[in-house]
Structure 1
C-alpha cells in the first residue's frame, strides 16, 4: 500500500515538473529563435544604413549635376515600391494565414495604410524643401532631433519604458550628431534669403516631427491592430504606404507644373541623359532598401530603436562622400 502511495506521489511530481518545464519553455524562447532574431535585426540595420547612405549621396549627386525638381526628388523616395512586388509571392508563409479569424477589417487596414502614406508624402516633401533652403549642417542638426520627437511619441503611443540605457543612447546620439554638424559647419553659409531660411527651418522641424510620428504609428499598427509576425507584413506595409505616398506626390508633380521641365532637366544634366535616369532609378531602389529595413526594425524591435539606427547614418554619409570624391 505504501509502495502504491509513493509511486502515485512520484508520478504527480513528475507531471508537475513536466508542466513547469513546458511553461518555462513557453516564456523563454529557444536559443535558435534568439539567434534568428539577432540575425534579422542585423540584416534590417544594414538595410537602413546602406539604403539611407546610398540614397542621400545619390540625392546630392542629383542636385549637384543639374537636378532642380523638388517633386522629382520627392517622388524617387517612394516610387521604387514595384521592385518589391515579386517578393510578396516568395514570402508567403503559414503564419500569414494563421490568425485570419482575428485579422482587422479591410477598412481599418486601408485607413492605416492611407494615413501612413499621407504622412510619408508630406514628410518627404518637407524634407526636400528643408534641404533646398538650409545649409546641409543646419539641416542635419534639425533632422537629428527626430530621435527626441520619436521618444515622446513612443512614450505615449507605444507605452515605451525608458531605461537608463535608452535615455543614455538618446542623449549620446543627439549630442554627437550636433557636435558632428557644428564641426562640419566651417565656412558653410546659406545663400537663401531670410524668408526662405525660415521656411526651410519650419519644414525641416515639421518633417522630423512627422517622420517620428510615422514610426510610432507603424509600431502601434503592428502591435495593436495587425498582430502578426511575418516578413510578408513588413512588405505589405512598405509597399502600400509607398503606393499611397507615390499617388499623392504625382498629384503634386503635375499640379505644380514641374513635369513640363523634366525633359529639359534631363537634357541639361551634366553626366548625360542615361546617367540622369540611372541616378533616379538607383535612388528609388536605395530608398526602398531603407524602407524595408526601417519597417523591419520597428516590427522586430521598436520605433525608437529604428530611429536610433537611422541616425547612425549621419556620420557615415560625410565619410562616404569624402571617399567617393577622392576616387573621382
Structure 2
C-alpha cells in the first residue's frame, strides 16, 4: 500500500508540473496535452509478463458473458477517461498550478457523494467536516483577484472562468470514475492481483488513447505539432522529453491510484491524491516562478485541514475495530474475518 501511495503522490506532482511547463514554454495543443496523460500505457505492457493472473477468475459457463461485460466496462471507462483528461488539460492551460491543484481538492467531496450511492459509503461528522472544508477551500479561489497573474503567463478573466469550470467538472468526473472502478473490482474482475491492476490501467488508457488520437486528427491539431515543436522555448529535445516523462508520470499515477482502490477503497485512493496537492504548488513556486498568495495559502490550509479530518475518522474506525477484536478475544468468541478494504473505510 505504501508503494501505491508513493506512485500516486510522485506521479501526480511530476505530471502536473510537466504539464504546466508544456504550456509555459510554447505548447498550445490541448489534444496533445490530453494525449500524453494516457498514451504512456505501453511502458506497463512488460509487467503483464511478470505478474500473475487468476485463471479461475471466471466460471466456465459464464466466461464469455463476463468477459464481454468487462470489455464493455473498459471501453466505457476509457471514453470517460478521455473526456476527463481533456477537461483537466483545459483547466491546466488556463489556471496557475496553485489554483489548479487546489481546485482538484473538490474531487474528494464528489467522491464521497458517489461512494455513498455506489459503494455504500456512510457519512460521519468528521467526513462531513472534511467535505465542507474542502468545498470552501476551492470556493475561496473564485475571489482571488490576481489569479490570472499568478503564473508566468497572464490570462483573461473569461479564460480563468473556463479553466475553473473545466477543472471542477473534471474533478467530479474523476471521482465517479474511482467509484465505478471499485465496483468493477467487486463485481466484474473479482480478483486482487497485480496483474488485475496493470490490466485495468492498460486497457482503459488504450481506449482513451484511440479516442484522443481521433480527436487530434479530426481537429487538425496534428498539422501544427511540427511548428509547436520547433517553437518550443527550450528546444525540440526538451519538447519530446517533456511529453515522454509526462506520459510516464501519469501512468505511474494511474497504477498507484487503481492499486489503492483494490487494496483499500476509492475514497482512500482519492484521499492520498488530495494529500499530494500541496506538493505541486510548492514545486511550482520553486521551479516555475508562481506566486503563493495569502488567499491561496488559506485555501491550502483548509484543504489540509479537511484531509486531517478524514484521517482522524479513519483513526477512530481503526480503534473501534481493534477494541471489538480485543473484546471478542477476551470473551473467547471467534470473530468473523474482516475485509481489510471494508475496515479501512470510514463508517
User: Residue 41 of structure 2 contacts residue 251 of structure 2 at CA under 8 Å; is this kept in 1?
Assistant: yes
Name the SS for the 2:278 alignment partner: helix
- Summarize deviations over 1:250-288 as a string: whole Å, max 9, x none: 011001111101001111111111111011000000000
Name the SS for the 1:146 alignment partner: helix
1:187 corresponds in structure 2 to 146
User: Residue 65 of structure 1 contacts residue 271 of structure 1 at CA under 8 Å; is this kept in 2?
Assistant: yes
1:7 corresponds in structure 2 to none
Task: Structure 2: give runs of 5+ residues left out of the alignment.
Answer: 290-347
Distance 1:211 1:273 in 2: 32
* Larger gyration radius, structure 1 or structure 2: 1
The number of residue pairs the alignment matches comes to: 282
CA RMSD of aligned residues (A): 2.4
- Summarize deviations over 1:58-87 as a string: whole Å, max 9, x none: 111111111111100000000000000000
1:34 corresponds in structure 2 to none
Instruction: Give the TM-score taking structure 2 as reference length.
Output: 0.75
Distance 1:321 1:205 in 2: 20
Instruction: Give the TM-score taking structure 1 as reference length.
Output: 0.79
Name the SS for the 1:98 alignment partner: coil
1:54 aligns with 2:14: yes
User: Residue 66 of structure 2 contacts residue 188 of structure 2 at CA under 8 Å; is this kept in 1?
Assistant: no
Distance 2:279 2:197 in 1: 26
Name the SS for the 1:269 alignment partner: coil
The 5 Å alignment of 1:75-90 reads 75-90=35-50
1:25 corresponds in structure 2 to none
The 5 Å alignment of 1:39-188 reads 41-93=1-53, 96-101=54-59, 105-171=66-132, 185=144, 187-188=146-147
1:297 aligns with 2:253: no
1:245 corresponds in structure 2 to 208
Task: Structure 1: give runs of 5+ residues left out of the alignment.
Answer: 1-40
2:303 corresponds in structure 1 to none
User: Residue 38 of structure 2 contacts residue 206 of structure 2 at CA under 8 Å; is this kept in 1?
Assistant: yes
Deviation at 1:197, TM superposition (A): 4.2
* Of 262-271 and 98-107, the range deviating more from structure 2: 98-107
Distance 2:252 2:212 in 1: 20
1:284 corresponds in structure 2 to 247
Change (3 A) 1:324 1:142: closer
Distance 1:201 1:316 in 2: 20
User: Residue 141 of structure 1 contacts residue 177 of structure 1 at CA under 8 Å; is this kept in 2?
Assistant: yes
1:215 aligns with 2:174: no
Distance 1:145 1:172 in 2: 10
Name the SS for the 1:78 alignment partner: coil
Distance 1:138 1:60 in 2: 12
User: Residue 119 of structure 2 contacts residue 183 of structure 2 at CA under 8 Å; is this kept in 1?
Assistant: yes
Change (3 A) 1:321 1:129: closer
Deviation at 1:134, TM superposition (A): 4.0
Structure showing the higher helix proportion among its residues: 1
1:201 aligns with 2:161: no
Change (3 A) 1:60 1:197: closer
Distance 1:312 1:138 in 2: 15
